A and B are shown apart, each in its own frame.
Chain A
Amino acid sequence: MKTSRLAANTVALVVAFLTAFPIYWMALSALKPPGEIQSLDVRPWTLHPTFGHFARVLTGEGFARYFVNSAVVALSVVALSAVVAFLAAVAVTRFAFRFRTTVLIMFLVAQMVPVEALTIPLFFVVRDAGLLNTLPSLVLVHLAFSLPFAIWMMRGFVAAVPESLEEAALIDGASRATVLWRILFPLVAPGLVATSVFSFIAAWNDFVFARTFIISAKENQTLPAALLVFFKPDENDWGGIMAASTLMTIPVLIFFVAVQRRLVSGLGGAVKD
């Protein structure tokens, strides 16, 4: 028993090391002086860390601006999608109505649609709406693409809350709105947070839409599309790519770590019988 526990712990630590290593390597390479990156004698540490790559990326390439743009788009999507998906999830889990199954299946089917292929028709939709080169075009499109999955996922979290809680509150004289926002909403908050992670990542990562909709307004460009600038056919600027990649990864990492604590706390308290 003791040995199997030790073996399990060892395997877990080795897997953890291997899984985290690429992230470490990215941050390390971003801090390495150019000479060490070009060196054929690769070392897993550096004695001369430098912020040269970051400085070049942030000032020379205007990444600070793209960073803010990406954040505005992703956070708008998260806030809007949380409320919209919550309401829709309540509708499909708590009510029996005509076409309920049809609506649910549509949400499921919508997740299947290959998003990249929709870039072509969406370009014309966005153009006709006069939203080309604007950040709202990205917010709206990402909201649309994150909703089906968000609703599908929220459905599970809403269903996990015993209906008896709401019924008890209704009997006690609480209004529908109170039950919805003061009782159900806090209970599914961990689920909403988990769902938000997906919406945030999808919006933060995307470069296909950013490159398609933001054509001429360079000041409205977002991070991933700007990152492509560093890829050159023959000599990749690895220092710059790793620094830009690190900048792009940090906010998502922070978001995840913040969320993780609330994920673990889960459905505690009232839900436990």
Chain B
Amino acid sequence: MTAMAAGVTAGSHRARARRGRGRVRPWLYLLPALAVLVPLFGYPVYMLGLLSVFDYRQAQVSGGQPTTFVGFGNYATLLGDARFWSVLLQTVGFAAALVVGTLAVGAALAVLMTRIGTVPRVALSLAALAAWAAPAMTGSTVWMFLFDADLGLVNQVLGIDGFNWFFDKWVTFGVVGATVVWHSFPFVMVTLYAGIQAVPGSVLEAASLDGASTWQSFWRVIVPILRPLITIVVIQSIIWDFKIFTQIYVMTNGGGIAGQNTVLNVYAYQTAFGSSEYGLGSAIGVVMTLILLVVTMFYIRALHRTGEKL
């Protein structure tokens, strides 16, 4: 009876707290974030869009030339350019391969982690942490050195001295892709492993009491519980891999021979800073952002479908 009364009091207290200060307080908590994000994120995004509809080159940046509004001129240039389409296509293909590779390796190793002894698990965790921790920049330099035509270890071991891994377009994509997966699978592995570990033991106990096998517990209990986490991991991989920049930029020296390994992000950067076509570069940035926006839409819809509360 007393417990019930206490419950009722707590309930009304909770409701009052929610309704009372619920309107101002969340904005108070959001204020610091917004104070940073609006001027340093929102405004530049707006400016990116603005620059993309102007003819904005070196002459305008430092030469004092007047800027001219060209409307969708920059976009028309892009859409009529075969090079843009080929870069777009290979960016999508490369990103897709990276996402699949990263998830396959990361998820397989996360499951493996739950089935091995302490020593191999610690070894694998530390190795993965090392690969994860290595800055994209230094990861790129080390893999470049490993695959160096003359002094690289790989060529020595394979006995193919002088073979240039950064000559053929697809071989280059392969080496850069391996570097990216090496760098990004630990996030997937550690996150999914932590997720599996966080599944309450009592739930698994209940499942096994009900006669579920290990296999059934995994697919029927662990995977459904982890679905929101898996979705987040997938979408993060898509975002990161579609925006890949450092590895391509450093390892292929700005996009490979005759720009054969260029991906969109590098293309935008090179167009703006290499060719001083700031307006056109901004337009590529806008196109990239729009494509990623579509991915986000699918993500948000997927979140709604799985019934996860935003």
Contacts and interface: CB of A to CB of B under 8 A. Distances in A.
A64 interface: no
A23 B130 contact: yes
A25 B10 contact: no
Interface string A127-148: 0000000000000110111011
Given A15-B109, A201-B133, A112 B239 contact: yes
A237 B126 CA distance: 29
B137 A117 contact: no
Given A25-B145, A40-B150, A96-B22, A141 B40 contact: yes
A22 B33 contact: no
Interface string B181-197: 01000100010001001
Contacts of A73: none
A76 interface: no
A15 to B, nearest CB: 6
A257 B182 CA distance: 18
B contact face: mostly helix, strand, loop, or mixed: helix
Interface in A32-86: 37-38, 40-42, 44, 83-85
A178 interface: no
A121 interface: yes
Given A25-B145, A100-B26, A116-B268, A248 B138 contact: yes
A174 interface: no
Contacts of A171: 10, 13
Contacts of A87: 29-30, 32-33
B289 A117 contact: yes
A88 B44 contact: no
Contact of B136 (A17, A103, A148, A205): A205
A120 B280 CA distance: 11
A20 interface: yes
Nearest to B281: A120
Contact of B123 (A13, A91, A109, A204): A13
B219 to A, nearest CB: 18
Interface residues of B, number: 101
Contact of A20 (B33, B130, B300): B130
B289 A112 contact: yes
Nearest to B266: A116
B289 A37 contact: no
Contacts of A238: 145, 148, 151
A113 interface: yes
A161 B137 CA distance: 36
B51 interface: yes
A183 interface: no
Interface string A86-124: 011011101111101101110011111111111111101
Interface of B: 10, 13-14, 17-18, 21-23, 25-30, 32-33, 36-37, 39-41, 43-45, 47-48, 50-51, 109, 112-113, 115-117, 119-121, 123-139, 141-143, 145-146, 148, 150-153, 156, 161, 182, 186, 190, 194, 197-198, 229, 232, 236, 239, 243, 245-246, 253, 264-266, 268-269, 272-273, 278, 281-282, 284-285, 288-289, 292-293, 295-296, 299-300, 310
Interface of A: 4-5, 8-9, 11-13, 15-17, 19-20, 22-23, 25-26, 29, 37-38, 40-42, 44, 83-85, 87-88, 90-92, 94-98, 100-101, 103-105, 108-122, 124-125, 140-141, 143-145, 147-148, 151, 156, 160, 167, 170-171, 176, 201, 204-205, 207-208, 224, 227, 231, 236, 238, 241-242, 245-246, 248-249, 252-253, 255-257, 260, 263, 266-267
15 contacts: A12-B113, A19-B131, A22-B139, A23-B142, A88-B32, A91-B29, A100-B26, A109-B293, A110-B37, A117-B288, A143-B36, A167-B13, A249-B133, A257-B126, A266-B197
